A and B are shown apart, each in its own frame.
Chain A
Amino acid sequence: MIEALLPSALDLARFQFAFVVVWHFLFPAFTIGLASYLAVLEGLWLWTGKAVYIDTFRYWLKVFAVAFAMGVVSGLVMSYQFGTNWSVLSDKAGPVIGPLMGYEVLTAFFLEAGFLGVMLFGLDRVGKGLHMLATSLVAAGTFFSAFWILSVNSWMHTPQGHVVTPDGRFLPDDWWAIIFNPSFPYRLAHTVTGAYLTTALIVGAVGAWHLLRERRGAPAVRDAGMDTGTGGAAAAQPFAPGSLVDGGATPDHPAPGSAGADRGEEASERGPNPRAKLMFSMAMWMLLFVAPLQAVLGDLHGTNTYEHQPAKVAAMEGHFETERGAPSIIFGIPDPEQERTRMALEIPNLASLYLTHDWNGEVRGLKDIPREYWPTNIPLVFFAFRVMVGLGLLMIGLGLAGGIMRLRGRLYSAPWLLRAAVAMGPAGLVAVTAGWIVTEAGRQPFTVYGVLRTADSVSPIALPAVATSLAAFVVVYFLVFGAGIWFLFKLFSQTPRPHEGAPPQGQPIRSAGITPAPSISAGAARPGPGTSGAAPQPAE
């Protein structure tokens, strides 16, 4: 009796994969968009020469370094999960999915890792053009990575281009068909767009938060002075002379190195913090156009899923009966035992309209599909889908509100809009996670849809081994990534300033350009630059 209640090694292996992949994807969901945002900011700076772009670039570069590092180390775990916990899948499907992941390493991981160092520390070692190239290559790398890994994932949802041997192994037959399998283009577009929206929401929330803080009578600039001002040394020298970001080269960017100049410039800035405005404005443009686009892409992806994985869509919709003119269930409680969705709040005919593009089209329900094809956790698929769609609608709403307030000239001064943007900061991450839960819980009980069952994919692992490793992952992830995320919030809370964090004096190179100075609380505990031999000194 008790054994029946305890999870099996298979359950724990599944939970472990879910745990490490959800944690992992939080970082790429943010950094895919952030890398492109950084490339755009640097490009705008090179094009216009306006300091606000490079200042904002530097502000987000610090964030990128931390988030990217967490993405790398959590991603390393993913590349071993397939072997440690899903070795039978690896043996059987390795000849198909392995080479695609190999291409991910060769085209994306090396590119990102190789040029990240230049992007972070090469400011004064390469020219502006080469640095721009490095930033662009890192951004391209994040896209290539998404391309290949989503191709693998999509093939497992909609497998084609292979033959199955008598002993159940998948052998490649047509690589083009494998890579561009039916669900891949939709999944790629939907996921990458989701990542861009995630970044836009975070950037917008940070910008809005600083605009709000200013309104509350705490001028950001004065705050910044406190943030960085352990003795003013750091604030006085936010620039390492000779760094690429040689503001001295442009009129907008006076020669670095003098406290007076910086402070003077900050004080002379009228109105709201221009960097916070830039962040908020760019984020609102992004939401205005891309959030509705994402709804269209999501609908196309859903239609494609309906074609290939009708059981998943039926679970998403809570449809048990096959019917013409199927309603869309806004809310309800799907009950697989009784084979109906209880307390359903419905809009008639809507599901037929968006799934079949016909008011009276027939929509398949779960009862028409053999039970062994049903997703194993239908309520999870159902509710996660509503979380994703609900947040997507809120994003569209926020984008529209931003557009209207911009037309009225009150984009930066409507407190309710700014508060809404702050509240929506994590919405992208939540929506992306919910979306992955929909698609992955929805494809159960298969790893390779319709062909290889999850139960037949797992390693011959003993329960204690997988339980122990799961516990270790849980503890370490909360500890390490918890600390990392807490630090990201510290970075978000720092006011974006002019001459933002160029490689500061007295900070080791890795932190160069990352933390302008010891921050508020503990600054005094640490020797400020130039005050102690313990701290490395700048080269002049």
Chain B
Amino acid sequence: MYNYIEHGKGATAVSTHQEDPEKYAEFMERIEAGEKIEADDWMPDEYRQTLIKLISMHGISEIMGALPEKEWVPKAPSLKRKLGIMAKVQDEMGHGQLLLRVAEDLMAPYGKDREDIMQDLLRGDLKFHNVFHMATKSWADAGLIGWLVDGAAIITQTNMLDASYGPYQRALQRICAEEVFHAQHGEAIIMALAEGTEEQKAMLQDALNRWWPALLMFFGPPTAETTGSSKQEATIKYRIRKSTNEGLRQAYLDKYLPRIFSLGLTVPDETIHYDEEKKKWIYQQPDWNEFKQIISNNGPRSQARLRLRKIAHENSAWVREALATPVVTA
């Protein structure tokens, strides 16, 4: 789900592998031939670290992403909707578990595990996705997350279904299959509102207006110059994903803008249009400085959601302690 990977803090660079030009060449040959790399195969440190950053952020974003939606479980307008959103929240936690397992196996040579991931998150060293820092103000937001946020996630995740790293790619097959349910769950909510009363239509338009910049930001900045850093080159070089941030954003606009317009909705950008010659959407850039602020945990709901995660982690610490097998020392 996550496309923007920062350099800097986070999983620290510990070089446990002697870089070996011969092994590197063999590795590149394998991934270029479409072979999959497994956890115990030799891999360059840059590959391992790119994967750790990408997958731990993806995993933790799934978990943090369950929080804005769970706010709507008690307030869902019918039992059917309540069950649907509950199932989705549980799926997101399941996706988080899958992805954290993949990240943990990659981190094992550095002596790091799940507790380190959680502590990195709570300390602010591990970022989570910009969209999950935002408030979910109305029921339309809950529908919009399923339709357009998960839609954006589907675009980025399907782009990695052939990823060179075997365990990640296998996790994504399962995740993408479940995203189909999420998307349709969201569409059903949106469709009811779009064809509902004037008040419901207004609520939906208001939600889209508020979410639009965050949806554009979802794919990350077009180039490293925009925000100072981006690892999109490494993920493409190592065949983890196929498209650039901008390529994915364009694909998203291709697929979703006609649908948005078909529901009688507008986006808060009067300049947006498709340039037939350049074969791409021309749109107003979101405020990338704001993006940096948001993912640095200074977004509208960043601190509240981190606090919720921290409390949950602390409140369940006694369970982990009680269930831990006693260490027998001689």
Task: Answer yes or no: are A and B bound together in one complex.
Answer: no
A: residues with CB less than 8 A from B are: none
